[in-house]
């Protein structure tokens, strides 16, 4: 038999299904919102909804909510690096054109 | 047999690999953002040509696949091997559905003469050429991940059948799930950027 020395948190069927429902609702919201023209805000609205959806997937489906702090820190650092790369690129192209 | 599995180490390795994937797709998203900034109206017009219904359907398909994947892991952790296998097959069915829809989407575009380097596309403004170039590159790379993820999940299924992935030892299924959810995450951003922002 395999021995176990680590705690595993099992996400219930119910919670998984609630997250699935929320993701479907948010998909409907983002499609509906795209029918209106908010100008530049279109991008902001669409990406905000996508970020919330990504957060739900990462926290619950990928169990990050139940992982050790180490996992949370490195996930944060990864997205921070991406944000820095995107931010600095836009300092450049934003002032170029 | 007494093996102490290092679950934290196994999952950490998978997450580290996923970060390289995030940065790979992140670089492409950066490219998309820079060109959207340069060609806003061309991106708008080109994006309108994509089929929102098919894009939204595929979003629902992938979200459901992620749900089935999470359910499969929960089932195995609770000891329901048969349930876990059923949910895993449903995940694979969703992966296949996604690819079939993607195939029809690409075929429709290609039949209209819109593909990289096609005379029809090259006759258009530079911004539209870039948009469709990025469309094929990013959805193509994503599609490749769906195919690889499907292979990985099939292998996980095989290991469950073989009794090598069990309710006591499920880290392989969990890590396969992490990869699958990443595929879903990438699509969650691809969908609004290509189909909706236009």
pLDDT of A43-91, one tens digit each? 889 999 999 999 999 999 999 999 999 999 999 999 999 999 988 888 8
B57 contacts chain A (CB < 8 A): no
Q: Would the CA dihedral through A90, A49, A35, B112 be positive or negative? A: positive
**pLDDT (average), residues A37-48:** 86
Residue A97's pLDDT is 58
Question: What 3-state DSSP class applies to B55?
Answer: helix
- Which residues in chain B come in under a pLDDT of 70? 1-3, 198
**CA end-to-end distance (rounded Å), chain B:** 58
Work out the minimum CA distance from B40 to partner chain A, whole angstroms: 10
Q: Which of B70, B164, B187 to mutate to test the interface with A (most CBs of A within 10 A)?
A: B70
Residue B2's pLDDT is 53
Q: Is the pLDDT of residue A3 over 50?
A: no
Is the Cβ pair A93, B38 closer than 8 Å? yes
Q: Which of B67, B75, B78, B165 to mutate to test the interface with A (most CBs of A within 10 A)?
A: B67
Residue A91's pLDDT is 84
Residues in chain A with CB shorter than 8 Å from the CB of B19 are 74, 78
Q: Is the pLDDT of residue A5 over 60?
A: no
Residue in B133, B128, B139 with CA at minimum distance from that of residue B101: B139
**Band (A95; pLDDT cuts 50, 70, 90):** confident
The pTM of the full predicted model, rounded to 2 decimals, is 0.93
Q: Which of residues 161-180 of B touch A (CB under 8 A)?
A: 166, 168-169, 174, 177-178
Between A8 and B178, name the one with better pLDDT. Answer: B178
Residue A2's pLDDT is 47
Q: Where are the beta strands (DSSP E) in chain B?
A: none
């Amino acid at each position: 038999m395999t021995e176990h020395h680590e705690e595993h948190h099992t996400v219930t069927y119910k919670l998984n299904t609630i997250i699935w429902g929320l993701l479907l609702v948010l998909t409907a919201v983002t499609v509906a919102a795209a029918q209106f023209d908010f100008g530049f805000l279109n991008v902001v609205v669409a990406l905000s909804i996508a970020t919330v959806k990504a957060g739900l997937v990462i926290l619950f489906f990928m169990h990050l909510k139940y992982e050790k702090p180490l996992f949370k820190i490195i996930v944060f650092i990864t997205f921070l690096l991406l944000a820095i790369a995107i931010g600095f690129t836009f300092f450049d192209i934003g002032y170029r054109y | 047999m007494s093996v102490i599995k290092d679950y934290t180490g196994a999952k950490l390795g998978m997450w580290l690999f996923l970060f390289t994937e995030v940065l790979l797709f992140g670089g492409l998203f950066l490219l998309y953002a820079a060109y959207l900034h340069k060609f806003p109206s061309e991106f708008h017009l080109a994006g309108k040509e994509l089929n929102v219904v098919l894009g939204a359907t595929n979003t629902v398909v992938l979200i459901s696949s992620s749900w089935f994947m999470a359910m499969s892991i929960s089932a195995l952790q609770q000891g329901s091997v048969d349930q876990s296998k059923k949910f895993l097959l449903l995940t694979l069915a969703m992966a296949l559905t996604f690819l079939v829809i993607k195939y029809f989407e690409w075929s429709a575009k290609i039949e209209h003469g819109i593909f990289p380097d096609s005379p029809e596309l090259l006759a258009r403004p530079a911004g539209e050429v870039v948009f469709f170039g990025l469309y094929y590159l990013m959805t193509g790379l994503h599609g490749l991940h769906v195919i690889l993820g499907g292979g990985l999940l099939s292998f996980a299924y095989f290991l469950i059948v073989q009794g090598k992935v069990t309710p006591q030892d499920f880290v392989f299924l969990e890590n396969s799930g992490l990869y699958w959810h990443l595929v879903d995450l990438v699509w969650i951003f691809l969908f609004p950027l290509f189909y909706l922002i236009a």
